[in-house]
Amino acid sequence: MIKLKSAAQIDLMRTAGKITAGALSYAGQIISEGMTYAELDHEIKKFITDRGAVPTFLNYNGFPASACISVNEEVIHGIPDGRKFKEGDIVSIDVGAYIGGYTGDAANTFGVGRISDEAQRLIDVTKQSFFDGIAKIGPGARIGDISNAIQNTVEHAGFSVIREYVGHGVGRDLHEEPDVPNYGPAGRGPRLYNGMTIAVEPMVCAGRNEIRVLDNGWTVVTCDGSLAAHYENTIAIVDNKVEILTKV
C-alpha cells in the first residue's frame, strides 16, 4: 500500500532530508586520495549523529556501516573498510538520516582528484537522468513516466541501466511502496498523487548492465568490470509539483 503523507509529515521529512543532504555534501567535500573507506564512513556517521539523527543504514537488515560506499565497478551497497581511495576513483555514496520518525535517502557519485572524461560523462548522465525523470511528474503522471525518461536519457548516451535494483517509496520506513524502476514504458505503473514521497535513484553502468553480488552478501558489482554511477534524491509531490527533500 502506498502511504500518502500529510503536510505535517512531509515537514518532518524535510528535516531528515536536510541532514541527509548535508551528510552527502560533506562526504563529497572531504573525500580524498589516501583516505580509507572506513574513515569516510566514520565522518558521515559523526555528521549525522552530531545533528541528533541516526544513520538509517547502520544495521539495516544487518548492513554493517552508516553509508554505502561503492567504488568504480561497485554499483551499490559497498561496505566501507580499510581500503584507500586512489586518484581517478569514482565513488558512489548512499546515505540516509533518520529523525523525528522519518528518514531521508540520497546518493551521489564523486571523483577522487582528476578522473577520466568518460567517468565524468557517466556521472553527469546519471544525474541528468534523475532530473529528466522527475520532470515528468505532474497531474495524471505515472511511475512509468519517470522510469521511461531515465532509461531514454541513459541509453541515448550509450550507457545502460541496472534493472535488478530500483527506487522506492520512503517515509517512516526506508523502503516503502511503490517501486520506482529506472526503465520501462511510459504510461504504466501507479499514478502519482500529492503526498507521495519517493526515492528516485538511477544506477547506471558505462558498459553492460549485468551484475553480481560479492561474497560479502551486499556489494553489487558490474560483471564486465565497467564503471558505475548512482544518483538519488528523496522527493515529495506537493501541489502537483516536485519538491526535492534532500536537496543540498
Per-residue pLDDT of the chain (248 residues; tens, 9 = 90+): 999 999 999 999 999 999 999 999 999 999 999 999 999 999 999 999 999 999 999 999 999 999 999 999 999 999 999 999 999 999 999 999 999 999 999 999 999 999 999 999 999 999 999 999 999 999 899 999 999 999 999 999 999 999 999 999 999 999 999 999 999 999 999 999 999 999 999 999 999 999 999 999 999 999 999 999 999 999 999 999 999 999 97
Please report, for residues 10, 26, 30, 141, 224, the alpha-carbon distance to residue 165 in angstroms, rounded to integers and kept in the order given: 25, 26, 28, 22, 18
**How many CA atoms are closer than 13 Å to the CA of 105, on its beta-carbon side?**
26
The strand pairing partners of 108, in sequence order, are 93
Closest CA to 109 of 87, 91, 121: 91
Which grid coordinates are listed for 221?
A: 558489482
